[in-house]
Each structure stands twice: as C-alpha cells, then as structure tokens.
Amino acid sequence: MTSTTNAEIAKADGDLRIALLLGIANWFLFLDHIPHNVVGALTMRNFGFSGATDLFVFVGGYAVTLIYARMTLERGFLVAATRIFKRVWQLYAAYIVLFVIYVELISYVATRTAAPEIISEFNITGFIDHPIRTLIYGLFLQAKPLNLDVLQLTIALMAFQPIIVFGLLYVPNATVVASVTLYAAGRLLDWNLSSYPYGDWYLNPFCWQLLFMMGGWLALIGARYAPAIRAMQAAPALRAMALLYLLFALTIVSSSDIPALAQMMPSGLSDVLLPNDREDVAPHRILHFLVLTFLFSWLVPRDWDYLRSHALQPIIKCGEEWLAVFCAGVFLSFAAHLILITGPYSLARQVAVSIAGIAAMTAVAYYVSWSKQQDGKSAVAHS
C-alpha cells in the first residue's frame, strides 16, 4: 500500500491547478468582503450555491493532506504530526496578530471618521465596551470580527489534520464514514462552537470538515479512481446533468434579485434552498461544489498548457502564498469598504478599489515569495 500511495502522491504533487484555485479563492474572498461592491457580483457565490469559502476549504484540504501524507510516508507519522502542529501555531499566531491589529484599526477609524456604524457592521462592539475581555476570548478563537471566520475555521481544521492524514492513509473508508457521520451529527444535533458575546461560529467546523476531508480524499485516494472518473466525465449524459444542476442553482440564486424568476419557482423551493446555509454547509451546497469540481477537472487537465502562461502567474503566486495574501486581503477589504462609504459611491470607484486591492495582494505574494528565496540563498551561502 505504501508504494502505491507514494506513487499517487508523487503524481498529484506539483499540480499547478491547486495554487491557481487557492489564488482564485483569495481574490474572490477579498471581493466578497467588500459590501455593496459591483465587482463582487463576479464571484462564485453569485452563480450558484457554493462560494469562495467552499473552494478555499476544499483545495486547502487537498494541498495540506498531500504535503503531510508525503511527510508521513517519508519521515514517519510523529514527524508529520509535529510539523502539522507547528503550522497550526503559525496560523494561530497570524490570526492573533491579525485580530488585534484589525479590531484596533476599525475602532480607531470609526472614532476618527464619520462612519461609527462600522463598529457594529464589523461585529466588534464588544471590543469597544469590554476590550480586555474581548481580547481574551479572541485568544480562544471565540470572538468573531467580520471576515476572520475563514482563517478561524482553517486553524480548527488543521488542528485535526493528523487524524485526517493517518485515517486517509491507512483506513480511508472508515475515515470517510466518520467524517460524514460527524457532518450529519453537526447538522441534526446543532453542534457548533460558541462565540463571544453570543451565538456560534459563522462557519461550523463540525460540518465544514467534510469538505476539507473530501479535498484530502481526492489528493490521496482519487488517483485510484481516476479511470472511472474520466469515464464518467466522458459521458455526455452526466455532463449534461451536471450543467443542468448548475443552471438550476444559478436560477435559484438569481431569483432573489429577479422577480420574474422568483415567480417561476415552485412555491417554497427558494425558501428551502436560500439562504445556502453557509454556517452548516448545506448538502445541496456541497453537491454544487462537487459538480463544479467534476466539470473543472474535465475542462482543465493537469497538463493544461495555459497553467504556465504569464497571464495566470499572478493568481498562482497568490495561491502559493495564500496565508500572507489572505491576511493582506482582510485589511485591504476593510480599506476598500472605508473608501467607498466615505466618498462618492460610484461604479468607477468600486472597480478602482477592487483592482487596486487585487494588485496589492499580488504584490504581497510576489514579495513574500522573493523574500523566501533570499532566505534560502542565505542559508545555502552560510552552510
């Protein structure tokens, strides 16, 4: 089993599609985090049930499972587990720094501008009233300022990554069953982690772990079923069904903004499917994302020539340096929102702040990549 798994990991390693999708997810998250931004209408969530968060979690599960499964096979599970917890600590440290600076920045801006409503809009009222208490709860990941939920969820999922890696390597079927069971229990029994000062996490880790695990399953086990998957993708009937489901999802999502479509919908259908249950990641939302994955992997093969084109390199670089880009995107989305609410709310202004933010995120990605290369050169020079 080890030799077979090693071959599958080696085959999946270096897939530029993973960095491309992480980069797209980061760009879309940035645009989604700017309220009332016309450019945000181009992101995934406006075309179906799933969105950038689904993409981020699924592809993140694929990438980290691939990395640490390979480390497990080459250096042992204990080494891999310690490296995973080191990464969790890095994510946690990034979250704390981001949390403290972010809420302090919002508080400062709110008191210095004519936009005090952003305090409640960004859910940091508790920080103004009880700063020390809120900071303490923030250390335990229980505070929930707006736009930090994805990083918060990633930390929780990564903390259980040793179990996922071990399970998918040695008992994959049992791991899948356990993940599905936990997802069902989270939804049916209303399991979630509590937040301060009230409520639960925006993204329920008991439910979102299923998408994370699915990404890992595709990374480690998917290659074994590649011939069957390709045969399914080659079937015109299945592709037609997939497209019909995407069209159905688009129609449902668009019906909330287009009255004519809403009247065409069966009574109560939109109420069931909208909103998309982002907190507990509804089954139809997962199905929508899997359909997108099914079609994307057919349309964009691993050896797609354009993956190495100059046009896609900025997106791929943002995917390779996803953590720094995500953190930059949180601040940039707040800055963009502030610019929009304190000045003329024009179409040109919305487009400008969106393009400028993406350009800044890309610049951060290239700088971080360049900086790592310089550190590597220094290590070699002094060895």
Q: Show pLDDT as tens, one digit a residue, over the chain (383 residues).
A: 555 556 556 555 678 999 999 999 999 999 999 988 999 999 999 999 999 999 999 999 999 999 999 999 999 999 999 999 999 999 999 999 888 888 878 777 777 765 666 777 777 666 666 778 878 888 888 887 778 899 999 999 999 999 999 999 999 999 999 999 999 999 999 999 998 878 899 999 999 999 999 999 999 998 888 899 999 999 999 999 999 999 999 988 887 777 766 666 676 666 667 666 788 999 999 999 999 999 999 999 988 989 999 999 999 999 999 999 999 999 999 889 888 887 777 899 999 999 999 999 999 999 999 998 887 665 445 44
- Pairwise CA distance, residues 206 & 187, whole Å: 8
pTM of the model: 0.91
pLDDT at res. 12: 58
pLDDT at res. 262: 62
245-285, pLDDT tens digit by residue?
999 999 888 877 777 666 666 766 666 676 667 889 999 99
pLDDT at res. 203: 94
Which ranges of the chain would DSSP assign to H, the alpha helix? Answer: 2-12, 16-32, 52-75, 77-112, 118-121, 125-129, 131-139, 149-159, 161-170, 172-188, 205-220, 226-234, 236-255, 259-264, 269-273, 283-299, 313-320, 322-341, 347-381
Residue 225, amino acid: Y
- Pairwise CA distance, residues 290 & 362, whole Å: 28
pLDDT at res. 157: 96
pLDDT at res. 383: 43
Query: Tokens 């930090």 correspond to what residue?
Result: 148
- Pairwise CA distance, residues 249 & 89, whole Å: 38
Query: Shortest CA distance to 150 belongs to which of 60, 37, 268?
Result: 60
pLDDT at res. 308: 92
Query: Tokens 């998957």 correspond to what residue?
Result: 229
Of the CA atoms within 13 Å of residue 294, those in its CB half-sphere come to: 22
Determine contact, residues 18/62, Cβ cutoff 8 Å.
yes
Per DSSP, what are the bridge partners of residue 196? 143
SS3 for 178-191, per residue?
HHHHHHHHHHHCCC
